[in-house]
Amino acid sequence: MSRIETDILVLGSGIAGLSFAIKTARQLPDKEILVLTKTVEGESNTRYAQGGVAAVWDHEHDSFDKHIADTLDAGAGLCNEDVVRIVVEEGPERVREIIEWGARFDKEKEVDMYDLAKEGGHSESRILHYKDLTGWEIQRTLMEEAKRYPNIKVLEHYFALEFITQHHLGHMVIRVTPGIECYGCYALNKQTNSIETLLSRVTICCTGGAGQVYNATTNPVIASGDGVAMAYRAKARIENMEFMQFHPTSLYNPAGENPSFLVSEAVRGHGGILKTEEGEEFMQHYDPRLSLAPRDIVARAIDAEMKKRGTDCMYLDCRHLNEEDFIAHFPTIHEKCKSIGFDPMTSMIPVVPACHYTCGGIQVDEMGRSSIKRLYAAGECSGTGLHGANRLASNSLLEALVFAHRISKDVCDKFDSWSINNKVPDWNAEGTMDPQELVLITQSLKELKSIMSYYVGIVRSNLRLKRAMDRLYLLYKETEELYKTSTISPQLMELRNLITIAYLITRSASDRRESRGLHFTTDYPDQLDFKENSIL
């Protein structure tokens, strides 16, 4: 067993984790910032972002008030208006910073102006992007900038298992215990296969989303909700987990692939039109904003049309668009379509909804502080109040930048008041052995994803949710038995974390007796006047 002591522990090397690390390394040059990442530094949801970063840039046509109104409208009454204002107003400054660090965003031809794109739910064009590879460009920039600070140390192939709190010192900790504190985390060093004790003065959770709880998702396989599940087990407050966002247009690929390839909403912003197999438009039956209505509406419309017609996908028609322009804006999408055998300039793109974004997460205040002392959360694993019941497209990269900055400020202000807790014991692996049959883990994961996809997907009902809960309980019991007797592996931990995530989604969905934003149930199709966040 090895023990590592560090000043600041960051879990995750996506936009939230790295931008926090960079900011803090500048402010506290003599403090060590240790960034753990469970595979390689560059693998994250961030890396796959296509559309871009929403920020008010063109003050002639756009305004903070318009961006705020669009965010509130998408959030269906559950956004925290103060947080929305903070993110929208501070956002452009944060974007400017990553531009200074080297992020390239596309400009219009022949004028020194950013080429601002439009996506669903936005009343103006305000999305800065780098072709359809915005996330790749941001991840590259942050990794290069982080390398400039000798006090940032990135540990790859380190899988965080549990946050360490008073519970690990033998104290009774229940959900309402006041003053729970985080002293770091236990993590599996995947290269040595040993569990290490990482002690820190403060911990920032930036572990991203949980899309892998569904069969079809645009999220890479690292997105297994680890941070949210760990925080729930550590008795942090978790909010709004029923609001899982399905992106309307992932590429339908009969060969199946995990993750599903995204066809950016920016393609619809660029003029792509949703159609039936016969080439008929259908969005006029659902929303006056047609193909650019907010995501929840478009995803439900596609789902309803597919169910009505008994088809596996609907279509996105780009055949009327200028080929050169399309390829310049969407080179990756164009290439991907070609790689699976069709040309999007001559054939319609088959599309299907896929789980895309976790709107809820670890509840934090306006400085990113969770309900556990010395534990902050930023990015997709956090519930800041920005998204409410539905996230506005391209608001998440912005949210991560703004909250990473705010957390950095709070951490720098408070840093001297924290110290390392040396009383923490090492991980106890007594009585465990290598699981004899890995099939128990792989099959349970398949079952879990099916339960969530069929019973807790885009459309829900009391019966489906009850059935999901019963099945989940069985999987939970079996997996906890396995966990108690087996040596820890990433596969087992991801399964365990995803079962917790599935429980949080299903439980919050069952408690919500209305339809709002991303949560739609046939038993309560209307939205109530009374607005409430779900807190578990």
Active site residues: 295
**Nearest approach, Cβ of 526 to ligand FAD (angstroms)?**
30
Query: Rounded to an integer, what is the distance from CA 42 to the centroid of its chain?
Result: 16
The distance of closest approach from Cβ of residue 210 to ligand FAD in the complex, given in angstroms and rounded to an integer, is: 10
Which one of ligand FAD, ligand SIN, none interacts with residue 160, CB within 5 to 8 A by kind? Answer: ligand FAD
Contact 313, 336 (CB under 8 A): no
Minimum distance from residue 240 beta carbon to ligand SIN (Å)? 17
What is the nearest approach in angstroms of ligand FAD to the Cβ of residue 505? 17
- Exposed, middle or buried by CB within 10 Å (0-12, 13-18, 19+), for 483? middle
Q: Indicate the burial class of 154 (C-beta count within 10 angstroms; 0-12, 13-18, 19 or more).
A: buried
The continuous run of DSSP H or E covering 422 comes out as none
CB-wise, 264 or 384, nearer to ligand SIN? 264
Binding site for ligand SIN (CB under 6 A): 50-51, 264-266, 356-357, 393-394, 396
Nearest CA-CA partner of 521 in 452, 453, 463 = 463
* Residue 214, beta-bridge partner list: none
Give yes or no for residue 128 binding ligand FAD (CB under 6 A). no
Closest by CA position to 534, among listed 240, 231, 238, 235: 240
Minimum CB distance to ligand SIN smaller for 8 or for 266:
266
**Which partner in ligand SIN, ligand FAD, none is near 207 (CB below 5 to 8 A by kind)?**
ligand FAD
**Please, which of residues 33-62 interact with ligand FAD by CB under 6 A?**
36-39, 43-46, 48-53
**Count of positions on this chain that bind ligand FAD (CB under 6 A):** 43
Which element (helix H / strand E) includes 325?
Answer: helix 323-329
Contact with ligand FAD (CB under 6 A): which of 6, 219, 408, 508?
219
Q: How far is CA 9 from CA 199, 371, 379, in A?
A: 8, 18, 16
**Amino acid letter, residue 373:** K
Q: Of 290-298, 393-401, 464-472, 478-486, which part binds ligand FAD (CB under 6 A)?
A: 393-401
Q: In what order do the strands lie in the sheet with 273-275?
A: 244-251, 349-358, 314-317, 273-275
User: Cβ 250 to ligand FAD, closest distance in Å?
Assistant: 8
Helices (H), 217-282: 226-233, 265-269
Q: What's the sign of the alpha-carbon dihedral 297, 47, 13, 222?
A: positive
| Residue 85, both tokens | 């204002």
| Closest to 86 in 3D by CA, of 337, 331, 366, 303 | 366
Task: Map the footprint of ligand FAD across residues 154-213, applying CB under 6 A.
Answer: 158-160, 206-209
Q: Indicate which of ligand FAD, ligand SIN, none lies near residue 12 (CB less than 5 to 8 Å, by partner kind).
A: ligand FAD
The interface partner of residue 183, options being ligand SIN, ligand FAD, none and the CB cut-off 5 to 8 Å by kind, is none
Q: Which of residues 259-278 bind ligand FAD (CB under 6 A)?
A: 262
Angle at 516 between CA 512 and CA 517, to 5 degrees: 130
Residue closer to ligand SIN (CB basis): 46 or 141? 46
Mark 399-438 with x for binding to ligand FAD (rule: CB under 6 A) and - for no binding: -x--------------------------------------
Name the one residue in this structure whose structure tokens are 């560090």.
6
Binder of ligand FAD out of 62, 137, 196, 226 (CB under 6 A): 226
Residues binding ligand FAD (CB under 6 A): 11-17, 36-39, 43-46, 48-53, 134-135, 158-160, 206-209, 218-219, 222, 226, 262, 357, 379-380, 394-397, 400
